[in-house]
């Protein structure tokens, strides 16, 4: 079987989310090719990598040239790669990308199309599902073939706080891969990836939806990539209480993140929100102050290496997720912590 995988890239670098999607795509191909591989293995000893190399990568745009792309995809179990190019296709155009994937999937007889569960991946596969009239399963954590045209999936609900086991019946499985679940695997050994160019047949309506990108925003540590996040929730008590958290974040080389109630009260801007409808963080340390630990919030910080909670309530749900906790009022604990760190650093 052929599994197509949409590969996103920025500045010539394949996105980490797409590397993870390639891993799930390969697992999917393996699950379908298992029988054939076993048959071959009984004759020829060690399993050949035929089934493992049934993933075809698809990338758009002029970013990476073919050689650079091939180099980056080598080791991910990719056999072939297509670089979609069209004079009409400049920049991101979700419906046009989906039209191109539909064309390629048809020409290659693909039985599955996989993309990362990013904004773009989910959007393009939704368009693809609408174009070819098939179901689309967003944010899968696992997927395996279960006979012809039948697939067993595990999907994320509530941004991963709940898992849905599902059965997909479709001639072509359309899947996106949940972020931060499937580890990118690039240890399959180098493989020769042949890169071809593909010019899609687009319809005028496809090019109506086109993104114009502004120059990258500069400055500051971003919440998504910060090494330390100092979180503030309802327990902070009001907008004025965030000064101490900002000061602490500064001392720890981190940034402040907040819970949903803080932004819906208008205490802090939404861009600081951590959670299902805000930013997902994965810091070394998440120091969650006055945050009860609602599902919607925890979905955004479960990738944190260490969670330390400061909360007055020893029964708060966050204590079931945190590694360490201080039971107390953050408005006393945090200023005392700031003083102690300053004293340790030898600064007043």
Partner 1 sequence: MEVLACVKRVPMVGGKIVITPNGCAIDTRMSGFTVSPHEECAVEEAVRLAERHGGTVTVLTLGPPEAADQLRDALALGASRAVLLETDGREWGPMATAEAIVAAIGRAGQPYDLLLFGNESADTGGYQVPVRVAHALGLPCATGIKGIEVAADGGRVTARREHLGAEETFDLPLPAVISVKEGINLPRYPSLPGRLRAKRASLERFTPDWHAEGLAIAGLRVPATERHRAEILGAGTDAVPALVALLAELGVLS
Site for partner 1 in 137-166 (CB under 8 A): 137-139, 152-153, 155-166
Name which of 266 and 348 has its Cβ closer to partner 1.
266
Sites for partner 1 among residues 253-272 (CB under 8 A): 253-254, 260, 263-264, 266, 270-271
> Residue 142 is inside which H or E element, if any?
strand 137-145
Name which of 41 and 162 has its Cβ closer to partner 1.
162
Phi then psi for residue 115, to 5 deg, are: -140, 165
Sign of CA dihedral 37, 40, 43, 49: negative
87 lies in the site for partner 1, by CB under 8 A: no
Find tokens 């979609």 and name the residue: 84
Neighbour count for residue 271 (Cβ, 10 Å): 12
Report long-range pairs for 146-153 (Cβ below 8 Å, ≥24 apart): 149/111, 151/28, 151/112
| 3-state class (DSSP) for residue 66 | helix
Residue 63 Cβ vs partner 1, minimum distance, rounded to whole Å: 13
Name which of 107 and 284 has its Cβ closer to partner 1.
284
Instruction: Single out the segment in contact with partner 1 by CB under 8 A; choices: 132-140, 182-190, 193-201, 234-242.
Output: 132-140
286 lies in the site for partner 1, by CB under 8 A: no
- Residue 259: name the closest of 293, 227, 286 by CA: 293
17 lies in the site for partner 1, by CB under 8 A: no
Paired sense of beta strands 162-169 and 285-289, if any: unpaired
252 lies in the site for partner 1, by CB under 8 A: yes
306 lies in the site for partner 1, by CB under 8 A: yes
216 lies in the site for partner 1, by CB under 8 A: yes
Single out the residue of 18, 56, 259, 273 in contact with partner 1 (rule: CB under 8 A): 273
Sites for partner 1 among residues 168-197 (CB under 8 A): 168-170, 176
Q: Which residues contact 147 (CB under 8 A, 6 or more apart)?
A: none
Neighbour count for residue 198 (Cβ, 10 Å): 19
Binding residues for partner 1, total number by CB under 8 A: 102
Find tokens 């496809």 and name the residue: 206
86 lies in the site for partner 1, by CB under 8 A: no
16 lies in the site for partner 1, by CB under 8 A: no
Single out the residue of 278, 280, 281, 282 in contact with partner 1 (rule: CB under 8 A): 278
Single out the residue of 134, 144, 184, 188 in contact with partner 1 (rule: CB under 8 A): 134
Question: x/- contact string, 308-327, with partner 1 (CB under 8 A)?
Answer: xx----x-xxxxxxxxxxxx
* CA–CA gap between residue 70 and residue 83 (Å, rounded): 10
């Amino acid at each position: 079987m052929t599994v197509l995988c949409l590969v996103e890239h920025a500045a010539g670098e394949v996105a980490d989310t797409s590397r993870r999607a390639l891993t799930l795509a390969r697992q999917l191909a393996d699950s379908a090719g298992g029988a054939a591989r076993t048959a071959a293995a009984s004759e020829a000893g060690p399993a050949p990598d035929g089934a493992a190399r049934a993933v075809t990568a698809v990338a758009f745009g002029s970013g990476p040239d073919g050689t650079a792309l091939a180099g980056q995809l080598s080791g991910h179990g990719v056999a072939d790669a297509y670089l979609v190019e069209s004079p009409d296709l400049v920049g991101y155009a979700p419906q046009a990308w989906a039209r191109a994937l539909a064309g390629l999937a048809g020409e290659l007889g693909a039985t599955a199309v996989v993309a990362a569960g990013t904004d773009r991946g989910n959007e393009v596969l939704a368009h693809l599902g609408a174009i070819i009239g098939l179901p689309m399963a967003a944010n899968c954590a696992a997927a395996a073939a279960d006979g012809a045209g039948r697939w067993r999936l595990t999907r994320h609900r509530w941004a991963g706080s709940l898992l849905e086991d599902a059965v997909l019946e479709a001639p072509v499985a359309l899947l996106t891969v949940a972020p931060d679940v499937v580890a990118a695997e690039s240890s399959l050994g180098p493989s020769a990836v042949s890169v071809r160019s593909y010019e899609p047949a687009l319809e005028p309506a496809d090019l109506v939806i086109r993104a114009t990108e502004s120059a990258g925003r500069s400055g500051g540590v971003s919440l998504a990539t910060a090494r330390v996040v100092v979180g503030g929730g309802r327990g902070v008590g009001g907008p004025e209480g965030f000064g101490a958290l900002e000061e602490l974040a500064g001392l720890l080389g981190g940034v402040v993140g907040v819970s949903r109630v803080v932004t819906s009260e208008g205490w802090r801007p939404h861009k600081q929100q951590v959670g299902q409808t805000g930013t997902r963080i994965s810091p070394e340390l998440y120091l969650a102050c006055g945050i009860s630990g609602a599902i919607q919030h925890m979905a955004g910080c479960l990738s944190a290496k260490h969670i330390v909670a400061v909360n007055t309530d020893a029964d708060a749900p966050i204590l079931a997720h945190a590694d360490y906790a201080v039971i107390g009022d953050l408005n006393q604990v945090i200023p005392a912590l700031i003083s102690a760190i300053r004293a340790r650093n030898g600064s007043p």
